[in-house]
Structure 1
Amino acid sequence: MTVPETVSAATMQAVRITAHGGPEVLEVVQVPVPAPAAGQVLVQVRAVALNNTDLWTRQGAYGLPGDPDALAGWRGPVDFPRIQGADVAGIVAAVGPDVAEDLVGRRVVIDPARYDAETPDANPVGLMGSEWDGGYAEHVLAPAQRIHDVTSSPLSDAQLAALPTAYGTALGMIERGRVRAGDTVLVTGASGGVGLAAVQLARARGATVLAVSSGAKLATVREAGAHEVIDRGADVVEQARTAAPDGVDVVLDVVAGQLVGEGLPLLREGGRWVIVGALGGHEVAFDVRRLYLHNIQLIGSSMHTPAHFDLLMDTARAGQVQPVIAATFPLGQAARAQEELGQRNHVGKIVLQP
């Protein structure tokens, strides 16, 4: 199916960044609606969720190998202008000439990753909204093989949009950390998007979940599925030791920093510490003897594999998790939404709805 002339000739509202900087570099513009080429699908965006990646890409906070203070995006220099937004739920509006036409009209979620191979366990090496244009727009292009039909899902558009990066990243941590039913799991940063997803997914897997959060957010984190909540305003390690006197099997960590060195002794023999972020700082120091003497594994985890994403979409179609939506904003208020995200006063996901 080719794109109708009325679609290909139309314009759409989009929000893009033109340089690294604060929210002021986000500009609302009218741009042409893109036309799908061979192997591509055009999706009408119903909801696009925000992630810390949006903030850090805008800020250029990722650094470069050998130059950690360099301004860069997720995988290197950003090609400006860039339409942000990795997490899209929407309706297929048109397809490229070699894509099945029966996709048109289907409710879908886009896997936002670009992989280093076409295998189930491939590693993500690029991200929609960072390395190519994303979903801060009324329409977005995506490869047909990254489109997942979720027409049967009971989740709302906003809830579906909350899944790809946060829940995909959390599921990647859980899979790489080999979380099993009966494990005791400690989740840091549990009120954020990835942390709250990790709480829900680990609980659904049958693990006992200890979740680190703070203040008024503790009750919401408990309601989301945590068996025990730990206030990060006090001694986190001591509280975790009290809650799990026999130790922890897996730590799902979005914070890193000082906590890694202090918390490593919490792990049982053969335990796994999985790190997916560095909210607490990117420099880590720990007693390496605690690592090798106890057969502990320190695991880096970046997003998900195609196999992980397939599992996540099965979860979405079955409605096995209920993503928490903290707030929704119209597309034109993307800068305000990013400011809200950066203040970290919310629990759950912030979503734009064109």
Structure 2
Amino acid sequence: MAGVVLVGHGGVDKLEYREDIPVPTPGPGEVLIRVAAAGINNTDINTRIGWYSKGVNSATEAGATQGFETVQDADATWSGVPMSFPRIQGGDCCGHIVGVGDGIDASRIGERVMVRNIIRTYADFRPLEGWVFGSECDGAFAQYTKAPSHETDKIECNWSDVELASIPVAYSTAEAMLHRAGVKRDEHVVITGASGGVGSAAIQLAKRRGAMVTAIAGANKLEQLRELGADRVVPRGEDLVKHLGKEVADVAIDVAAGPGFAALLDVLKKGGRYAVAGAIAGPIVELDVRTLYLKDLTFFGCTFQPDEVFTNLVSYIEKSEIRPFVGNTYPLKDIVRAQQDFLSKRIPGKLVLVIPH
């Protein structure tokens, strides 16, 4: 089969498009999926360049093309476990089941499905543990992939394969953050990186909960965020406190970190909640601990996703409570161009690879 193989940590030269990759064989409890489309995500790039290593202190974009010389292979994955190469990446998967392993009813063949990006089966369902699809196991950047049947969700809707492939990583990450932070109706939520996959998903999902949303993004993308439902928009890099005032927000949903971190804490009310699932603007921040305890803030680090997060997402789609936000599509063989466009931040919304057959 055709696919893209990651052969080591480093730059885009570590991505190799091949047409001689063996088709995977589903084991007991697994299904074989003919992949139709696969989204581009920060986690794919971060894994490729080894950004999760504690030897890296800068923002993703600093090493996104060439990689980082300071990477330590021993801790260069999100789980801290050394990565096995070659690896087929791709955390977002939409496709059709074409085969089943032992113990799985053959009636599943033909279902259109999405794969959960946090795979708990392979971690024996231990609390707060899971494998990331496309990191600890092969993912969707190929014509075929396999996954546990338990974490492969049938979906019935009128969305295209490309639109469904924009959902798993970004929307589940956003929903998990809102879930952990307990966002409620009429609360004020501030969202960073709001024009990207996770941020734009968080806008819709927060509005679905009845929250009031302030979205932060590049100045040329603000109107599109209003169309997604944002009540207020703030250009990235401008003084957030000057725009909003101090102690006005209930929750901060952050995927950026970096220089804007301190301002998020300033705009949170006493008792406010901060949820983070990324650090694209830089992982090292300055925290005045007095702000944390004098304002009785609560911090949530969000990686693990309880089962109900993805189950709820499928129901939101089938009930037309959210909609996709796709910025562009690319053939699989153009993955390098897709990742370069992703990193440029020029195109709002999700970028999706179309898989040929």
Q: Could you tell me the TM-score, scaled by structure 1's length?
A: 0.91
Greater shift in the superposed pair: 254-263 or 169-178: 254-263
What amino acid is the match of 2:92? D
Is this contact kept in 2: 1:188–1:195, CA < 8 A?
A: yes
How far apart are the structure 2 equivalents of 1:201 and 1:117?
30
- What is aligned with 2:142? 137
Residue by residue over 1:1-51, the C-alpha shift from the partner in whole angstroms, topping out at 9 and shown as x without a partner, is: xxxxxxxxxxx1011111122212211112121121211100111111110
- What is aligned with 2:2? 13
Superposed counterparts of 1:81-96, under 5 Å: 81-96=86-101
How far apart are the structure 2 equivalents of 1:167 and 1:268?
26
Residue by residue over 1:254-276, the C-alpha shift from the partner in whole angstroms, topping out at 9 and shown as x without a partner, is: 11123222331211121101111
Is this contact kept in 1: 2:247–2:266, CA < 8 A?
A: no
Aligned length: 337
Matched, 1:23 2:12: yes
Matched, 1:42 2:46: no
Is this contact kept in 2: 1:124–1:304, CA < 8 A?
A: no
CA-CA distance at 1:131 after TM superposition:
0.9
How far apart are the structure 1 equivalents of 2:220 and 2:165?
25
Return closer, same or farther for 1:269/1:117 CA change in 2, 3 Å cut-off.
Answer: farther
- What is aligned with 1:5? none
Return closer, same or farther for 1:22/1:235 CA change in 2, 3 Å cut-off.
Answer: same
CA-CA distance at 1:214 after TM superposition:
1.2
- What is aligned with 2:107? 102
Unaligned runs of 5+ in 1: 1-11
How far apart are the structure 1 equivalents of 2:32 and 2:318?
22
Helix, strand or coil at the partner of 2:130:
strand
Q: Using the aligned pairs only, state the percent identity.
A: 37
1:222 to 220, 223, 226: 226
Q: Could you tell me the TM-score, scaled by structure 2's length?
A: 0.90
Superposed counterparts of 1:111-126, under 5 Å: 111-115=116-120, 116=123, 118=125, 122-126=127-131
Matched, 1:61 2:43: no
Helix, strand or coil at the partner of 1:82:
coil
How far apart are the structure 1 equivalents of 2:275 and 2:247?
19
CA-CA distance at 1:286 after TM superposition:
2.3
CA-CA distance at 1:64 after TM superposition:
4.5
Return closer, same or farther for 1:227/1:163 CA change in 2, 3 Å cut-off.
Answer: same
Unaligned runs of 5+ in 2: 58-69
Residue by residue over 1:289-326, the C-alpha shift from the partner in whole angstroms, topping out at 9 and shown as x without a partner, is: 22222221011111522121111111122221112101
Helix, strand or coil at the partner of 2:299:
strand
CA-CA distance at 1:124 after TM superposition:
4.2
Matched, 1:200 2:243: no
How far apart are the structure 1 equivalents of 2:205 and 2:117?
20
Superposed counterparts of 1:296-335, under 5 Å: 296-302=297-303, 304-335=305-336
Helix, strand or coil at the partner of 2:102:
coil
What amino acid is the match of 1:45? V
How far apart are the structure 2 equivalents of 1:259 and 1:233?
8
CA-CA distance at 1:246 after TM superposition:
6.2
Return closer, same or farther for 1:214/1:298 CA change in 2, 3 Å cut-off.
Answer: same
What amino acid is the match of 2:8? A
Greater shift in the superposed pair: 262-271 or 109-118: 109-118
Return closer, same or farther for 1:197/1:124 CA change in 2, 3 Å cut-off.
Answer: farther
Structural RMSD (CA): 1.9
Residue by residue over 1:123-149, the C-alpha shift from the partner in whole angstroms, topping out at 9 and shown as x without a partner, is: 243211111111000110000111101
Is this contact kept in 2: 1:170–1:303, CA < 8 A?
A: no
